[in-house]
């Protein structure tokens, strides 16, 4: 197939998401490594107008018989190109095409494989994210303004025991234990972000645990069935979450359709040296945009200015001034990492209600 064909596929894949994404030779090479020509023709024909359809809709558009269509869908699901989950309202399975990010990136690197194919995909994604940063810098003012109209990608769930004891009742979506308890289907997967860094020989700087990304509900069920993740009990999940907190990681919760009023799809436990969202922010691709209900607050009488919080803060939002920790509130995401690791217990989390933290990325030099 010629470049025009693969460019057309790239447009369909990019349109499946809601982020401005560069269509480059790297993206085309990436898609050629994941998707066969037969699958590409099917995607262009079926998904050219909307990214999610049920089986009957797809059959009508494709013209394939049931057995052939089911095999094609199964192959694409196993490869992480399409995700099939049951609608909560109708019980009918909906097959959703995945955009480059979030979507293809996660599924291609979720399995613990370290062969040449995986290393090549990791390098292509890394190059692609660099090209994405170039696109943002060339159109910085207009794109950053557009990002303000998008919903936040995630919300931060604080380290629960570091929340101010005088706070109002903690909402269930702010307490990892209550979140875990809500779901019968829970899966744990390899952290695709740390896996990507391992594959490109840039391993996690704090050597954080690798298997600690959680999936819930129908997303967990899909990932278990397609061998992207494995089932885990609630007690096992809590243990992994506590280990993540002790390693200095942040609980980041991802909602269905990025709507905080809807159920959760996943919780990632993130370090700022590997996490895709942190990396895209650091590389000038997109703002760091999240929801938090908390703010770190320092007890100046107890603080000795040791610098532990300054070192641990993933947003680099704490400075030591005159031997006292000072929090730059506009960049604080209320994760509680600083409080959890403060040897003097001089920091706590203060509940403020829902805060949209929007931090524009640096503008990188365009090559």
Extents of the domains making up the chain: 3-108, 143-359
* Span between the terminal Cα atoms of the chain, in Å: 30
Query: Over the stretch 25-46, which tens digit does the pLDDT of each residue have?
Result: 999 999 999 999 999 999 999 9
Judged by DSSP in three states, 361 sits in coil
pTM (predicted TM-score)? 0.90
> Domain 143-359 is of which CATH architecture?
2-Layer Sandwich (3.30)
Strands 347-359 and 230-231: unpaired
Query: Over the stretch 224-276, which tens digit does the pLDDT of each residue have?
Result: 999 999 999 999 999 999 999 899 999 998 887 776 667 788 999 999 999 99
Cα 156 to Cα 151, 241, 293, 337, 357, distances in angstroms: 14, 14, 8, 11, 10
pLDDT of residue 157: 87
Cα Rg of the chain (Å, integer): 21
Q: Report the C-alpha gap between 219 and 97 in whole angstroms.
A: 14
Cα 205 to Cα 194, 275, 317, distances in angstroms: 10, 12, 19
Q: What are phi and psi of 20, to 5 degrees?
A: -70, 115
Instruction: Tell me how crowded residue 316 is: count the other CB atoms within 10 A of its CB.
Output: 11
Cα 223 to Cα 77, 231, 337, distances in angstroms: 10, 9, 29
pLDDT of residue 170: 40
Of 308, 290, 289, 293, the closest CA to residue 347 belongs to 308
pLDDT per residue, tens digit, the chain (367 aa), is 688 999 999 999 999 998 888 999 999 999 999 999 999 999 999 999 999 999 999 999 999 999 999 999 999 999 999 999 998 788 899 999 999 998 999 999 999 999 999 999 999 999 999 999 999 999 999 999 888 888 888 889 887 655 554 444 444 456 778 888 889 999 999 999 999 999 999 999 999 999 999 999 999 999 999 999 999 999 999 999 999 989 999 999 888 777 666 778 899 999 999 999 999 999 999 999 999 989 999 999 999 999 999 999 999 999 999 999 999 999 999 999 999 999 999 999 998 888 899 999 988 877 6
pLDDT of residue 104: 95
> What is the CA 265 to chain-centroid distance, rounded?
10
- Tokens at residue 31, please? 């898609």
Given this structure, which CATH class describes domain 3-108? mainly alpha
């Amino acid at each position: 197939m010629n470049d025009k064909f693969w460019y057309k596929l790239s447009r369909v894949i990019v349109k499946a998401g809601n982020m401005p994404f560069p269509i480059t030779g790297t993206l085309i090479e990436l898609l050629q490594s994941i998707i066969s020509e037969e699958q590409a023709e099917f995607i262009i024909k079926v998904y050219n107008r909307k990214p999610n359809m049920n089986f009957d809709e797809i059959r009508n558009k494709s013209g394939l018989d049931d057995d052939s269509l089911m095999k094609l869908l199964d192959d694409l699901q196993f490869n992480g190109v399409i995700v099939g989950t049951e609608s909560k309202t109708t019980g009918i399975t909906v097959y959703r095409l995945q955009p480059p990010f979030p979507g293809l990136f996660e599924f291609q690197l979720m399995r613990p494989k370290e062969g040449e194919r995986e290393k090549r995909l990791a390098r292509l994604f890394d190059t692609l994210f660099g090209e994405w940063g170039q696109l943002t810098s060339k159109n910085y003012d207009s794109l950053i303004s557009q990002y303000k109209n998008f919903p936040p990608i995630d919300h931060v769930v604080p380290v629960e025991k570091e929340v101010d004891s005088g706070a109002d009742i903690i909402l269930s979506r702010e307490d990892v234990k209550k979140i875990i308890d809500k779901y019968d289907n829970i899966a744990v997967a390899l952290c695709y972000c740390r896996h990507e860094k391992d594959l490109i020989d840039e391993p996690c700087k704090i050597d954080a645990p690798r298997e600690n990304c959680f999936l819930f509900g129908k997303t967990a069920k899909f990932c278990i069935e397609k061998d992207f993740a494995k089932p885990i009990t609630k007690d096992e999940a809590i243990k992994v979450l506590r280990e993540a907190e002790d390693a200095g990681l942040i609980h980041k919760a991802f909602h269905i359709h990025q709507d905080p009023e809807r159920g959760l799809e996943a919780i990632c436990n993130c370090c700022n040296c590997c996490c895709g969202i942190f990396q895209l922010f650091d590389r000038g691709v997109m703002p760091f945009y999240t929801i938090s209900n908390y703010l770190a607050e320092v007890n100046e009488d107890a603080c000795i200015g040791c610098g532990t919080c300054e070192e641990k803060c993933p947003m680099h939002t704490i400075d030591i001034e005159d031997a006292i920790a000072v929090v730059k509130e506009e960049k604080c995401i209320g994760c509680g990492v600083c409080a959890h690791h403060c040897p003097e217990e001089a920091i706590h989390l203060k509940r403020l209600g829902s805060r949209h933290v929007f931090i524009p990325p640096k503008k990188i030099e365009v090559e």
